Amino acid sequence: MESLNNTETTLAMQARAQGALEELLPVLQPLAAAFAAAGHQLYLVGGSVRDALLGRLSHDLDFTTDARPEQTQAILEKWAEVVWDTGIEFGTLSAEKHGQQVEITTFRADQYDGESRNPVVQFGDTLEGDLVRRDFTVNAMAVEISADGALTFHDPLDGLTALAAGQLDTPAAPEESFGDDPLRMLRAARFVAQLEFEVAPRVRKAMAEMATQIRRITAERVAVELDKLMLGAAPWAGLDLLVDTALADEVLPELAALKLTQDEHMQHKDVYAHSMTVLRQAMEQEDEPDLVLRWAALLHDCGKPATRAYTEEGRVTFHHHEVVGAKLVRKRFRALKHSKQMIADVSQLVFLHMRFYGYGPGAWTDSAVRRYVTDAGELLPRLHKLVRADCTTRNQKKANRLRRAYDDLEQRIAELAEKEDLARVRPDLDGNEIMQLLGLKPGPDVGRAWAFLKELRLDRGPLDRTEAEAELLKWWASQHTEGEDQHA
């Protein structure tokens, strides 16, 4: 019965792909005819075939051909509206026509040196030779498009069966595949997150045995794969694979370290499990995939291992873990060569995620609310989601109490925002007005006066000009008095 069901699944997948590709034939058939007229074959290949079979075909299509790059370029320049040749040295050209983007690569038969992931580019002569060098069998299928629009499915490595079973396996022995290109181990975790597949037992075993080989890969390439994993439908599945195979020890050790730390509420097996729950709950609040929010949710407690301590009663504590965690995020993201904006945003969310826990009815002044909003800045909507996601207690009364408290905080933020511009809390006097009032020239004293006025604005809200000037003059006089006292 299982075999029958699998056959029905594969037939349904093929029918779905056939329908999706037939819709594209008005654009693709003339392209295939152009290749045929030049004596060459054209195949849709790799992820494009996989996605067509899964019913998620995108507008970017990947093809392979026996034509050499210069021949492909000549064909595309007649067919396409735009042609890009930036990858021509690797046999790849890209083009666009009627909004449809295509990428066409000459058959490859590369050799690897075993030290880097950079192959010695060699062009191949057969489709089968090209497919066998690909990362996973589910990415090693092709659909031949003939000049008359006929579609022929090629699956020499039985990728369709693996796709129907939801399994990732390598065309050759995984040790050989990962030895050629260790990045494929991260790609396995990424596909697990994106497609919600399982890896074959031999693939998992090879990943665990070869985890240190990932050191051959540049930080930038690692970061790209991790970001794609985090944007998947089930990033926790890919992260679990990284941790279980020790790849996380190499690329994201802060995550693996959470396995060692018991959650202080004893509500989870460990802080790692709690972090995965927070990630899930943050994603449930998304309107669209939010990489910054997801990273912050995953790493919000990464400072706990370094701050773990025990009270006299034996209760575990993690004081100031948000401060340590923010530093760890900055260090890790710099090592991964993330952008300055990404580093700043994720680390600031980690730093702020505990601020709310001092909140209670009547416990926060308007000044405290202003500071919460100001410190979060443009990250405030994400901070709202992160704090709500961080409530994972199974105690329903406590969960409801925390939810009501945050509802109250958001209501107070909204009420203050109606009265004043909380999004841009600035001093009531600008730099020029400060210099004119105090008779100063540009310099450190102007910056100190500006900082005083901003603190005053946060504490008391907007002031009219007369009141702001009076407070500034009073402060300025006190500065001189303090200086004279110290001198005496």
List, for residues 410-452, the tens digit of each pLDDT value: 888 888 877 666 555 566 667 777 777 777 788 788 778 777 7
For residue 118, the model assigns a pLDDT of 62
Q: Which residue, among 15, 29, 7, 2, has the nearest Cα to 98 in the 3D structure?
A: 29
CA distance 452 to 431: 12
For residue 424, the model assigns a pLDDT of 56
Residue 217 in tokens: 């890969």
Return the exposure string of 245-274: e unless at least 16 CB atoms fall within 10 Å of the residue's CB, then b: bbbbbbbbebbbbbeebebeeeebeebbbb
List strands edge to edge, sheet with 151-154.
Answer: 82-84, 92-97, 100-106, 60-65, 42-45, 142-145, 151-154
Q: What is the mean pLDDT of residues 268-280?
A: 86
For residue 311, the model assigns a pLDDT of 82
**CA 281 from chain center: how many Å?**
16
Q: Which residue, among 238, 162, 167, has the nearest Cα to 203 in the 3D structure?
A: 167
In total, the chain counts a number of residues equal to 488
pLDDT for residue 344 is more than 60: yes
pLDDT for residue 39 is more than 50: yes
Let me know: does 182 contact 217? Beta carbons within 8 Å: yes
Phi then psi for residue 266, to 5 deg, are 60, 25
Residue 149 in tokens: 């629009």
Q: What is the mean pLDDT of residues 469-483?
A: 72
Count other Cβ atoms within 10 Å, centred on residue 354. Answer: 18
For residue 396, the model assigns a pLDDT of 87
Q: What is the mean pLDDT of residues 331-340?
A: 97
Phi then psi for residue 451, to 5 deg, are -65, -40
The tally of CA atoms less than 13 A away on the side-chain side of residue 66 is: 11
Return the exposure string of 209-219: e unless at least 16 CB atoms fall within 10 Å of the residue's CB, then b: ebbebbeebee
Phi then psi for residue 220, to 5 deg, are -60, -40
DSSP 116-128: SS--B--B-S-HH
Q: Which residue, among 386, 390, 258, 393, has the nearest Cα to 325 in the 3D structure?
A: 258
Query: 176: phi > 0 → left, psi -120 to 50 → alpha, else beta; which?
Result: alpha
For residue 5, the model assigns a pLDDT of 60
For residue 187, the model assigns a pLDDT of 97
pLDDT for residue 286 is more than 60: yes
pLDDT tens for 348-407 read: 999 999 988 877 666 788 888 888 888 888 999 999 999 999 988 888 888 888 888 889
Q: What is the mean pLDDT of residues 305-329?
A: 89
Look at 458 and 160; give whichever has higher pLDDT: 160
CA distance 423 to 420: 9
For residue 4, the model assigns a pLDDT of 40
Residue 167 in tokens: 């399994």
Confidence grade of residue 310 (pLDDT, cut at 50, 70, 90): confident
Confidence grade of residue 1 (pLDDT, cut at 50, 70, 90): very low
Containing 415, the helix (H) or strand (E) segment is helix 396-419
User: What does the mean pLDDT of the chain come to?
Assistant: 88
Let me know: does 117 contact 93? Beta carbons within 8 Å: no
Look at 485 and 286; give whichever has higher pLDDT: 286
Residue type, 71: Q
pLDDT for residue 486 is more than 50: no
